[in-house]
Chains A and B, each alone.
Chain A
Amino acid sequence: MEENTILVKEDLSDVVSKFVIYKPLIAKTAKAGQFVILRGCEGGERIPVTLVDWDDKQGTITVIIQSIGKSTAMFNSLKQGDKFANVAGPLGTPVEIKNYGTVAVVGGGVGIAEVYPIARAFKQAGNRVVSVLGARTKSLLILEEEMRAVSDVTVCATDDGSHGQKGMVTDALKFIVEGGEKIQAGFIIGPIPMMKFTSILMDKLGIEPHASLNPIMLDGTGMCGCCRVTVDGKVRFACVDGPMFPSRTIDFDELIRRTSEYKPMEAASLQQFEKDHVCKCGLH
């Protein structure tokens, strides 16, 4: 078996795909909260993706990718038996797993997949795990069964009310706490505004918040510094110091500004890719 080979490819929605990749070295050392960097082909970008699962015995790692730009669209067009050009990791500092008592694990969109190994690790460490899963609509709410299997309480929320409660994850979290749940710490992965507002809410509710940050990265090893974030007034590198940080003092607005730097170029690149893709396969 060649490294980086896709053993299983499963489409979880129109834009979200799950990959099981053969990569024994990473499967052996991965821990909850870490990520890998994927590259599809020669000339391709280095894309950081959080590890969802790993299996030391099989030598495999699992990632779930949402197609949002050219590179992720290209990844999601790969099939079983194809290979990623490069898979490097495990990168980042693992989440410190300890017994807090009760922890809230909050995932938004594809962030549900990314927060899953953290929920599982906290459960295994003896915590009561309260999971809040959010998405725009039912088809985008992934891994509900897996999350339920490692959680004591699971609440889903969709913006359009097509599944679970109608509303945001913040509404659902408030609902749970008002129901009498005492939560000590929270771990949030999702879109930046969602992490910002969930963090603010947790702070108000007396829950110690943590958020996993997704700034622009290049090497992922602390070499380039483009993933600089401000936490507690200090500059930190998300790729090595994070990606999970205590989030009460994260400058989320700065993160939003810095992650939008290449938006116009990325949009043009995706448009071109979609146009070329139509020409090549003739299916669209």
Chain B
Amino acid sequence: MPNPSAPRQAGQNQAPEVRKHNFEEVTKTFTKEEALAEAERCLHCQNARCQANCPVGVQIPAFIALLKEGKVGEAASKIMETSLLPAICGRVCPQEKHCEGHCILKAKFGSVNIGMLERYVADTARKEGLLKAPQTAAPTGKKVVCVGSGPSSIACAAELKRLGHDVTVLEALHAYGGVLRYGIPSFRLPREVINHEIETVQAMGVKFKTDVLAGVTIPVEELRKEYDAVYIGSGAGLPTMTGVPGENGVGVYSANEFLTRINLMQAYKFPQTDTPITVGKHVVVLGAGNSAMDAARCAMRLGPETVTIAYRRSAAEMPARAAEVEHAQEEGVKFEFLVTPKEILQDEKGRVTGVRFTRNQLGEPDEKGRRRPVEIPGSDFVMEVETVIVAIGQKPNPILPKHTPGLKTTDRGVLELDENGSTSLPGVYAGGDIIRGGATVLLAMKDGLEAARRIDSYLKGEK
């Protein structure tokens, strides 16, 4: 019998005092006992709201039922019918906004820990050799190229391969995974988890190639000639800066640069690796989204005295995943709310010495319903820091659209799609952050899956 009132299992975390000195994963995968206890809490609702609110429609009650019967491999296959990256989604999806946010148990007993169950199933099936690459349909003879190897492109590539198409993924950097690789730190998403998920897609027969900046190394026009369809999932690789004076001072990083140095280039292992990184005694991170939390927690692990998140609104408006904020706080990251940066101060050598902020109070709600920050005159103060990390958002990387005549973008720089999900060029589809600007891994995957089905119809001549 289900046991919904049993306490929600949260998994074991590395102690904050320990983990703030390493890049190992913070939360351990459930033990078998924890997984089964948590699985017992699920009521297996008939019209499961968790499943209805999953952007990729993971069959949640069904996989949990298989898990309870001890059929971990089958549970993994059940998840992978709609989501090919379960070990990644289990770790980085904002479950509180999707499945867990709609669990019937949420109000009374706390939601089922669906993310951790998904992760347990994926990790255990992998470890026990029970994970099967999905079956692929008979070859259709059609060729598709996916630009980028982030979550949206990989989801699209795998789905197209499953439908029998010949698929190639082109990555501009030297390693696969896109934002999973350069953006998300290993203490949230271990590198071997990314490697394993990519290997699964490779095992299906999808071809991968590094060092190809599509649109430049190979013009999109050429890709259109060589392939029957093109999917653009080139992501949000363009940092937004604040524009305040002093932003080119020595010691100012964009979150992209800071995270890329640490996550992609493994700069925290310098000089064992060759890319350097340095932080001062005091670090401030501007912004309070997931990248800001990642940057602050990475900075913490480089050993400064203080790391502070400075945000122009209040705690309630922070866009980051709740678990990340909590983990950052536990690790000693400080928070300075309701402040707007006005100037980055430098010494005579151009090195950062501090940031001048103005304090805010909350005003009327904006169009998204978040209360707007209103500056308080005369409230300026200086925070003394040697390192500033700007993590206030992302825009789509403009390099591919810029080099592709006829590919239309909106004034926000995102690609324009018609009602069929096609770009302004026939046979060229797009999804993920290149059409959203800066969203989540899961929404990127959803776009990739949907585009794969549209591309399949297009290739079959159904439009």
Contacts and interface: CB of A to CB of B under 8 A. Distances in A.
Q: Is the interface of B mostly helix, strand, loop or mixed?
A: loop
Contact of A71 (B239, B256, B274, B278): B274
Contacts of B239: 223-225
Contacts of A224: 239, 254, 256-257, 260
Contacts of B381: none
A225 B254 contact: yes
Interface stretch (A38-46, A133-141, A198-206): A38-46
A221 B266 contact: no
B45 interface: no
Interface in A105-157: none
Interface in B117-148: none
Count class of interface residues, chain A: 35 or more
Interface in A77-117: 85-91
B247 interface: yes
Interface string B248-283: 101101101100110001100111111110100000
Interface string B303-334: 00000000000000000000000000000000
Interface in B81-98: none
Contacts of A39: 174
B212 interface: yes
Given A88-B174, A223-B237, A46 B265 contact: yes
B274 A43 contact: yes
B219 A29 contact: yes
B174 A85 contact: yes
A266 B276 contact: yes
Given A43-B274, A269-B276, A222 B216 contact: no
Nearest to A217: B257
Contacts of B238: 222-223, 225
Contact of B261 (A25, A71, A218, A258): A218
Nearest to B237: A223
Given A43-B273, A88-B213, A226 B237 contact: no
A235 interface: yes
Nearest to B172: A221
A70 B212 contact: no
Given A86-B210, A261-B278, A268 B271 contact: yes
A218 B260 contact: yes
A43 B266 contact: yes
Nearest to B350: A257
B257 A269 contact: no
Contacts of B397: 221-223
Contacts of B399: 221-222, 240
A223 B398 CA distance: 10
B211 A257 contact: no
Nearest to A45: B274
Interface string A1-30: 000000000000000000000000110010
B217 interface: yes
Given A43-B274, A226-B253, A265-B270, 13 more contacts: A25-B217, A25-B218, A29-B219, A43-B269, A88-B211, A218-B265, A223-B260, A235-B241, A257-B351, A258-B250, A262-B278, A265-B276, A269-B274
Interface of A: 25-26, 29, 39, 43-46, 70-71, 85-91, 218-219, 221-226, 228-230, 235, 240, 251, 253-254, 257-258, 260-262, 265-266, 268-269, 272
Q: What are the 4 A-B residue pairs with the smallest beta carbon separation, nearest first?
A: A223-B237, A257-B350, A224-B257, A88-B211
